[in-house]
Structure 1
Amino acid sequence: MEAAIEPYPDLISSWIITAQEENSVVSFRKARILFRNGSSLSIFEKLHKPDNHYRYGYQWQTADNVLIHRWDNALHYEQIETFPFHQHVGSEENVQPSKPMTLADVLTIIAQRITSG
């Protein structure tokens, strides 16, 4: 996580890992990043090692907890051509296709949007 955050010292005010587990079966992490503009990013990443199944959710929201953007690969929205990868843009109901995402990908997008106003 530190490597993904490192390029953005001017945008990130703080970050914290809120839950973490690492063993032979699972690698799991929940974290939260606070940006200097007041918005935040909630992070969920889980790798089930025996079958190499990776789940994630990255939810960016305003200071008053209004959804800006969420990227995830929960097993719903089977009609989306990129299933299970999808994104919620501006609201839970506005579901769109998405490529598989990483924390570094998400931070790149957020940094571009914050710096472009």
Structure 2
Amino acid sequence: MNSRRHIEELLKNYSDIIASVEELHITERPHLTVIRAKIILINSSVLYVREIWRNEEKVAFSYFWFSPDGRLIEGWDNAPHHPEIETFPDHAHTREGIRPLRTSNLTAFLEKIRRSLLPP
């Protein structure tokens, strides 16, 4: 997996909602890649991204989106702390509480943000 190229292409594809990438750290070791990013969006909200890949398989992720004043808008992750959720360990943190998460990739999360920031 070329993590750097993948994440840079993804950021380019969503440049219409990204004001800046404040932090981007990619650690690559044999069989393990860790991606961390702090992304400032066009409305000054902040997206934190973390993915851990082992042997080309995403084994951990968290995507958390916060308002400019630091309130949670939405977050997706697969930390195993909500076994009651039908999509365990994948779940969404929303202002209304914990919800099942059926799609768990960064592209889907960025699409959700885009729809919110750039309504038709």
Flag whether TM exceeds 0.5 (same fold): yes
- The residue aligned with 1:26 is 32
Residue of structure 1 aligned with 2:62, choices 53, 57, 60: 57
Cα distance per residue 1:8-37 (max 9 Å; x no partner): 323211014443210113100110111110
CA distance in 2, matches of 1:95, 1:3: 30
Segments of 4+ moved more than 6 angstroms: none
Identity level (%): 29
CA distance in 2, matches of 1:105, 1:75: 21
Q: Secondary structure at the match of 2:104?
A: coil
CA distance in 2, matches of 1:79, 1:95: 10
- The TM-score with structure 2 as length reference comes to 0.85
CA distance in 2, matches of 1:36, 1:24: 36
* Structure 2: runs of 5 or more not aligned: 1-6
- The TM-score with structure 1 as length reference comes to 0.87
* Structure 1: runs of 5 or more not aligned: none
- The residue aligned with 1:109 is 112
- Structure 1 residues 15 and 101 mapped into 2: Cα distance closer, same or farther (>3 Å)? same
Alpha-carbon contact 1:82-1:99 (below 8 Å) kept? yes
Cα distance per residue 1:86-113 (max 9 Å; x no partner): 000126xx00000141111111000001
CA distance in 1, matches of 2:10, 2:91: 21
Alignment of 1:8-47 (within 5 A): 8-47=14-53
Deviation at 1:4, TM superposition (A): 1.6
CA distance in 1, matches of 2:35, 2:63: 12
Q: Aligned-residue CA RMSD in angstroms?
A: 2.0
Alpha-carbon contact 1:4-1:107 (below 8 Å) kept? no
Deviation at 1:48, TM superposition (A): 2.8
Aligned residue-pair number? 114
Q: Name the aligned partner's letter for residue 110 of structure 1.
A: I
